[in-house]
Amino acid sequence: MKTFLIYLLLSTSLLHCKDKPTSVNQDNEFTVAKDGSGDYTSIQAAINDTKSFPYEQITIHIKEGVYHEKVKIYEWNPKVTLIGENKERTIIRYDDYFKGIDLGRNSTFHTSTLQVEGNDCFIKNLTIENTAGNVGQAVALSLTGNRIKVENCIIKGNQDTVYTSGEGHKQYFKDCFIEGTTDFIFGQATAVFDGCQIHSKSDSYITAASTPEHIPFGYVFINCRLTADKNVTKVYLGRPWRIYAKTVFINCEMGKQIHPEAWHDWNKPEAHTSAFYAEYNSSGKGADNTKRVRWSHQLNDKDIQQNYSLKKILIDSLADQDWYKIKSTN
């Protein structure tokens, strides 16, 4: 009888272990692999099994493959890091779009392929796609959390590719490729795009900021390249989704597709005095500022030195020091 009880306890324990991740650090580090060689075959399954409100960063390594799934990092899952094995071959893909999901006037916000609600998240080495096609609003990446870094990622879509939101939230894109057609970077967060390639697929608008009135920074593009498909000839840097929109381009190379006026008021003349659109040291065939709209601004060296360092734009308090410099082990 005693031998049987020992056997029963061991069997139960082994069965229980089969449901647990097999990583060395079972609490903080997991692997997702389509072929079953990791802890999970689904990215969402890995996220669902992480601790809520952890004290330390949780890292989910994603092996190469195409993951056809909607992925959501919930508000109760802060400090989640997603790291792909290779940005070209580690792909999260889905195809929701406004009319396809038909959830009313706010359907856009339900279409994202990857949605990040949690604070202090880090996304690296991934392709994030909305493959619905040119069918209207269809978000690839939605960020509504605070202190989120997206590095070395390819983000692909058409209209409304990247949504950045959260009043006063700070988000940082480093060395990313972002493509789209209309308003393909939009929202109210303070977001810096550093060393990114911003690629227009049609004659339209790159940004549609909705910066709240009392927030000092909206979108800031630093050392970016603005490129376009061959047939694209009329691209505006931005238009105001809301009238206090703020968007600045610093040391950016602008292709010939950039419209000489650069900015559009979206038929909101009040935005001429309420919005803030500016450039500094633009270069390239689209950089000629002699025909820019009169209500836009050309910044000087003093403006940049005093107001546009990463620390000035992205830091709120001592508790947030240098979060945007977070590095992974990969």
Residues marked as catalytic: 160, 183
Residue 180 structure tokens:
């789209």
- Taking residue 73's Cβ as centre, other Cβ atoms within 10 Å add up to 27
Contact 81, 57 (CB under 8 A): yes
DSSP 8-state symbol, 85? S
Contacts of 27 (CB under 8 A, 6+ apart): 51, 54, 58
Distance between CA atoms of 326 and 120, rounded to whole angstroms? 10
Q: Specify the length of the chain in residues.
A: 330
Distance between CA atoms of 276 and 243, rounded to whole angstroms? 9
Where do the H-state alpha helices sit in the chain?
2-18, 43-48, 98-101, 271-274, 301-307, 310-314
Contact 193, 141 (CB under 8 A): no
Contact 242, 266 (CB under 8 A): no
Residue 171 structure tokens:
């988000």
Distance between CA atoms of 276 and 262, rounded to whole angstroms? 13
For 237, list phi and psi in degrees, rounded to 5. -65, -35
Contacts of 20 (CB under 8 A, 6+ apart): 26
Adjacent-strand bridge partners of 88: none
